[in-house]
Each structure stands twice: as C-alpha cells, then as structure tokens.
Amino acid sequence: MRSLWAVLVVIAIAGTARAAPADDHQRGLQAYRRGDVAGAMAALRPAAQAGHAPSQTMLAFILDRADFAEEAARLYQDAAAQGDAEGHAGLANALLVGRGIAKDEKRAWQHFSKAAELGHAAAIDVVATAYAKGQFGQAVDADKARQWRLRAQRPAASAPVVP
C-alpha cells in the first residue's frame, strides 16, 4: 500500500511540475536568438510572473521594442526592486525619456547610478559621462568621471546577458 501511495504522489508531482524560472529563461533566450520572438515571450512570461529578474528584464526589452512600453516599464521596475542591474538600467532609460512611465530625470539618475554600482557597463558609461559633462544635475567632476571610466575597464563580477 505504501509503495502504491508513493507512486501516486510521484505521478501527481510530475504531472503538475513546471519548469524552473531559470529553465524558462534559457528557453526564452534561445527562442529570441533564433528570431522566435513569440516563442521567447511565451517562455519568459511565466518566469517573469514568478519574479525571476533576468526574465523580467528580457521580457521588458522585447515588449518595449514592440511598443508595449507601460508593461515593459512595470517589468523593469519589478526587476530593479530586486536589485537587478539590468532592471535598474532599463528603468532608468524609460524614466529618462518618459517611455511607459512618467519622465523623471532625477529618478533616472538614481537608477543609472544604482545600475553602475552593480557593474552594468552601459550605466557606468552614463554615470562617467554625466560627471564629465555635468549632466543629470551633476557638477562637472573630472576626477569622478575618471574613476568611473577606470571602473568600466575592470571586468564585472557577473556580466548581464544582453540580447
């Protein structure tokens, strides 16, 4: 009786098991790289809804390019709230131009800065340039600009996956 019960439990679990968010994410990346945007979205959406930050940012990237800017901004916000560098950078870009979210240069700077602190290469460049040119309300500071440029030359601990 016990063995029958164990078999039934295994069957029930196997029948209801879903792929882990990281697996969905990998399938989504593979589909996107093949040019299958619809397949990528279908694979990424469950992982994004489960709170998987890399899936949220990848899905946001796709949605933003398909003119679903509001949903993209929400996904970038969700990923940024988890401390994801790509989420911060994507949200910063959306805030900078007001795409899918109200334009807010001050908040854009905060998110670019956070993404840069997390090692996001493009955000590091934005921060360095802001200090070099006095953008985002920052005073021109050649020393800070140089420090950020040097930081950009160091390899990141974990480079984000860029489509």
Mean pLDDT in order along the chain per 10 residues (163 residues):
42 48 92 94 95 96 95 98 97 97 98 96 96 95 94 60 44
Report how far residue 159's alpha carbon sits from residue 123's, in angstroms, rounded to the nearest whole number. 13
Instruction: State the CATH class of domain 18-153.
Output: mainly alpha
Q: What is the pTM of this model?
A: 0.81
With beta carbons less than 8 A apart as the criterion, state whether 115 and 85 touch: yes
At residue 160, the pLDDT reads: 44
Report how far residue 23's alpha carbon sits from residue 106's, in angstroms, rounded to the nearest whole number. 36
At residue 156, the pLDDT reads: 53
Determine the longest span between alpha carbons in the chain, in angstroms. 77
Contact residues for 77 (Cβ-Cβ < 8 A; gap 6+): 87, 91, 101
Residue 15 — φ and ψ, nearest 5°?
A: -70, -25
Among 154, 152, 95, residue whose Cα is nearest residue 126? 152
At residue 152, the pLDDT reads: 80
Report how far residue 25's alpha carbon sits from residue 47's, in angstroms, rounded to the nearest whole number. 7
DSSP state of 162: -
Report how far residue 130's alpha carbon sits from residue 2's, in angstroms, rounded to the nearest whole number. 67
